[in-house]
Structure 1
Amino acid sequence: MGNLEPLQPITPSNSYAERALIGAVLANGKAFDEIGSRITADMFSEESLRKVWGIISDAHRNSGSCGMEAVAPSIAALGSDYTQLMAGIVVQFPVCEWAMLGRYCSAVRDSHARREIQRIAKLAEWESGRADGTAEDVLQQLVSGAERIADGMDADRPAVSAGDAAMRLMQETEANWKSGNYMSGLRCGLEGLDIKLRGFRPGGMYVVAARPGAGKSALGLTLATRMAKNEGRGLVWSGEMKAEELMARAIAAKLHIPFDEVITGMWRDHNGDYHRISADKMDKVIKAAQDLRNIPVEIDDREGITVAQLAARARRMKRQSAGLKFLVADYIGLMSASASVQRSGRRVEIVTEISGDLAKLARELDIPVIVLTQLNRENEKRDDRRPTLSDIRESGAIEQDARCVIGIYREEMSIRLKMGPDGRPVRNSNETDAAYMKRADELTAMLQDVRGKAELIVLKNRGGTTGIVPALYDGPGTWFRDVTEGERSPAW
């Protein structure tokens, strides 16, 4: 019988390219200026070549010169074997092949990346056999390791000159000028917000911030549904609600009926008794559910996922023919960081890592990433409860990473906080009947005036203006509309 032992994997290396790079730099020190930022000593497969490149890098950093004369003394100090190695490289590569320099560099980086892939795969194999830990921990380590390799490979992307960047900009500007298009990003379907932001620009992280109950999930779903209808397929991650609940919200908004009627098919009368909704209304619910098939949105409702897990799905969607136009994450406080940071238990570090990774994902996929986050209670201590940037919960990194921050404010919600269970204002101690009645009438009138109204406050807008965008909020249907649409306009 033949040998049935499994074949051992071959360790990737490209000794020729490694020596060619060293020979090029020794022949012409200026070659290091071209490749020095892309090649590090650990990328060489042979220990001897790693040491030689380390000497070359040190010489360039210390004196700006790394030719043969500059490094020869340090090479000689390593012994005769290294002197002979260098002599052989100089003979084999006597001149710098400028035309091949980039190709040699890419070959060395590719071999190094392949070795790193083998290393993390072996580590994952070993970790998966341990009794402690979980499969999720192993997967997280595997994904994190793969992302580090991918980040390193990104160094092969060439820098763009100022002139080339300007020409690309002018192509985009001229196309918009000829078509009369004032948008520089994706339309969200709320006209006032589109005008203020000029659209949601690919590559940016957009933050929607609000107190619990103010409607941040409602705004996230409104943006996702309308943006998908206008621009193309999107991905929504929901850490709070299942996919079915999100779609129930969309149906409730379309039909102008309460959310719970869509979920249960029942309605409640003034006596507290429940009844089936009419057959006609049930047909409309079913029709709206069927219409949602035409909205290209995919929903990921896995709880507590990491950015790496979300990114894996987003990258896969981006590669598919339907593509990926945007991503909505609801909300950042329910996501998990990498295993090591998560174990620390320090919320600021956890949120900082998650925010930074989401911002990087927007740049990588060249899509707008809309991130929902909570505000702290500081605004509730102020007379004017409109949110500010300093109210963002848990980490200032969210504000820094964001291209744009949108705060939600509803005066109706603030007034209702002053009301009791009976719907009347809570009476202050030592308040006279006359004073209470006057204040109650004023609050009731104010409540009626602001009912169904909202403010989308653009707190930060990199490259644009800030300010308040008026909007309408449908409480029973949990949906936002532009003020120009009217309360009974189609939700989507």
Structure 2
Amino acid sequence: MALIQDNDAGISSELDSTPQSQEAEQALIGALLYDNEVYHRISGIVQAKHFYNPVHVRIFDSIAILIERGNLADAIVLKNRFSQDETLVDIGGVEYLALLLDNAPPGSTAPEYAKLILDMAMRRELIRLADGIKGEATDPDSEQDAQNQITSAESQLYNLAEIGGTQSGFVSFENALIKSIEMASAAFSRDGHLSGTSTGLIDLDRQLGGMHRSDLIILAGRPSMGKTSLATNIAFNIAKKFKREKDDNGIEKTVEGGVVGFFSLEMSSEQLATRLLAEHSQVPSHKIRRGDITAEQYEHIRDSADEINRIPLHIDDTGGISIGALSARARRLKRMVGLDMIVVDYLQLLTGGAGMNSSTNRVQEVSMITQGLKALAKELDIPVLALAQLSRQVEQRDDKRPQLSDLRESGSIEQDADVVMFVFREEYYVARSEPSEGTEEHLKWQEDMEQLHGKAEVIIGKQRHGPIGTVKLSFNPDLTKFGNLAQDDRFEGGH
């Protein structure tokens, strides 16, 4: 197809050094005007923002809006839209649209033109990004040290590689509304009507609606409450249900479960794997560690290991990692194998990184870490589940159920989190207050222990998307496993 030239428009075959292809842009728009069905083959490749010519940006955007609404998008319809548009008048008015249509290439070539337009857009963005990195690095007055500049550059490069742009800019309310409707539709058609990824725990899913993309979820508790166990159970449930399918554009997307990245800053990968083996094989972890198992249990462990080995759960047990290094590793994992959820065990073991100095207090550092985790959740468009320790003031109260003020450096954690959950096992505290045997108090204590045995609570202290409240779960200390409590009302009506 020959390049359409118009002297008034300033469109010429003499292209400057900026990467662009006016011919490809004209060809793709012409193909769309000739056959609207072409849009469904190229919409997953190119967007309006990838076009170089501002007029083409507006024409493509109008075509996209019309087609997505189920309307016809041809030269006549666009003529009415652009009849008073001065920018189109400058390049020949509606006759320019007719010219594009007359020179339309076969629809089968449209994906190749779309790929070329995207490639040129990414090259332009790469040049802009490189100029910015060079300017920052050579600026003697820059407040960012080299390490922070590298982290920032890596983040921008990741976004460019993932979505074809380092800055999303403004999104029209119409586009935001379309995404919201798509999410509601997916939730309506999904088992359990969840808008997020299922945790594998029915009542927790009911309260949260699943784990939502771009959310920072804090799971807090005192030592021995089972934070790591619950996070491991959730991560395992999500990873073992992982399922991917290709959409209409041939792009693979996760439709159930997900690939999980687990940053274990306290426990080694071997310890974490032993917990998973215990949960899956139903053999207590202390017996696995000691080798105190029967031949039958060994077979269960071996079979479980074979199954677990196939699930997409990736463990990084580097201690004292910085928020910048964690973000870089998460981006790399998503680029290489995909990533649908991150678990961080636990938040207070992360460091702020190279930007920290001796005058930075811990509250400021934790604030930087929580902001970094929230930014990472939005950047990768995945939920981030971060564990957190609670202060000792919980132990001083008669009612030891945790609350938001018990979070260490609570201001920044509470502010940045979309959801704050506390795991609480009253059995743990009651077991440590055993009265003397043979007394009435001991009988009452035994009754309390029987009622509390194997039960746990997850207290939702904050939730942007829904109500707060308490979720009851079962807990098996031998297997360090949380599960659904069999409640009579759940099974009424066949649910």
Fold similarity call, TM over 0.5: yes
Which whole-Å CA distance do the structure 1 matches of 2:309 and 2:224 have between them? 28
Deviation for aligned residue 1:478: 1.1
Which whole-Å CA distance do the structure 2 matches of 1:118 and 1:162 have between them? 35
**Do the aligned residues in 1 keep the contact of 2:158 with 2:331 (CA within 8 Å)?**
no
1:367 aligns with 2:374: no
Q: Secondary structure at the match of 1:477?
A: coil
1:388 aligns with 2:410: no
Which whole-Å CA distance do the structure 1 matches of 2:129 and 2:209 have between them? 40
Give 1:373's aligned amino acid: A
Which whole-Å CA distance do the structure 1 matches of 2:171 and 2:216 have between them? 22
2:212 to 201, 205, 227: 201
Give 1:452's aligned amino acid: G
Q: Secondary structure at the match of 1:156?
A: coil
Higher-Rg structure is 1
Which whole-Å CA distance do the structure 2 matches of 1:232 and 1:289 have between them? 19
Aligned pair count reads: 357
CA deviation profile, 1:45-73 (whole Å, cap 9, x unmatched): xxxxxxxxxxxxxxxxxxxxxxxxxxxxx
Give 2:284's aligned amino acid: P
**Against the structure 1 CA distance between its residues 174 and 286, is the aligned structure 2 distance closer, same or farther, given a 3 Å change threshold?**
closer
Deviation for aligned residue 1:305: 0.6
**Do the aligned residues in 2 keep the contact of 1:120 with 1:145 (CA within 8 Å)?**
no
Deviation for aligned residue 1:256: 3.1
Q: Secondary structure at the match of 1:189?
A: coil
CA deviation profile, 1:87-111 (whole Å, cap 9, x unmatched): xxxxxxxx999999xx999999754
**Do the aligned residues in 1 keep the contact of 2:229 with 2:482 (CA within 8 Å)?**
yes
Once the two structures are superposed, the pairs formed by residues 107-146 of structure 1 within 5 Å of their partners are: 111=127, 113-118=129-134, 140-141=147-148, 143-146=150-153
Give 2:182's aligned amino acid: Q
1:166 to 177, 187, 190: 177
For 2:200, the equivalent position in structure 1 comes to: 189
For 1:416, the equivalent position in structure 2 comes to: 431
**Do the aligned residues in 1 keep the contact of 2:186 with 2:195 (CA within 8 Å)?**
no
Which whole-Å CA distance do the structure 2 matches of 1:180 and 1:148 have between them? 35
Deviation for aligned residue 1:471: 0.3
Which whole-Å CA distance do the structure 2 matches of 1:418 and 1:342 have between them? 44
Which whole-Å CA distance do the structure 1 matches of 2:308 and 2:121 have between them? 50
**Do the aligned residues in 2 keep the contact of 1:256 with 1:477 (CA within 8 Å)?**
yes
**Do the aligned residues in 2 keep the contact of 1:352 with 1:395 (CA within 8 Å)?**
no
**Do the aligned residues in 1 keep the contact of 2:404 with 2:410 (CA within 8 Å)?**
no
Percent identical: 32
Q: Secondary structure at the match of 2:356?
A: helix
2:478 to 476, 479, 487: 476
**Do the aligned residues in 1 keep the contact of 2:151 with 2:328 (CA within 8 Å)?**
no
Give 1:366's aligned amino acid: D
**Do the aligned residues in 2 keep the contact of 1:242 with 1:301 (CA within 8 Å)?**
yes
- Supply the RMSD in Å over aligned alpha carbons: 3.5
Give 1:227's aligned amino acid: I
Give the TM-score normalised by the residue count of structure 2: 0.65
Give the TM-score normalised by the residue count of structure 1: 0.65
Give 2:320's aligned amino acid: G
Listed as ranges, the gaps of 5+ residues in structure 1 are 1-14, 18-94, 124-137, 267-276, 420-424, 428-432, 487-492
**Against the structure 1 CA distance between its residues 471 and 180, is the aligned structure 2 distance closer, same or farther, given a 3 Å change threshold?**
closer
Which whole-Å CA distance do the structure 2 matches of 1:145 and 1:331 have between them? 24
Q: Secondary structure at the match of 1:327?
A: strand
CA deviation profile, 1:266-324 (whole Å, cap 9, x unmatched): 3xxxxxxxxxx32222222222222211221000000111122121221122223x421
1:333 aligns with 2:345: no
**Do the aligned residues in 1 keep the contact of 2:283 with 2:301 (CA within 8 Å)?**
no
**Do the aligned residues in 2 keep the contact of 1:116 with 1:149 (CA within 8 Å)?**
no
Listed as ranges, the gaps of 5+ residues in structure 2 are 1-15, 19-85, 92-117, 140-144, 242-256, 489-495
For 1:75, the equivalent position in structure 2 comes to: none
2:226 to 202, 211, 215: 215
CA deviation profile, 1:135-160 (whole Å, cap 9, x unmatched): xxx98445335257669987732311
**Against the structure 1 CA distance between its residues 155 and 203, is the aligned structure 2 distance closer, same or farther, given a 3 Å change threshold?**
same
Give 2:329's aligned amino acid: R
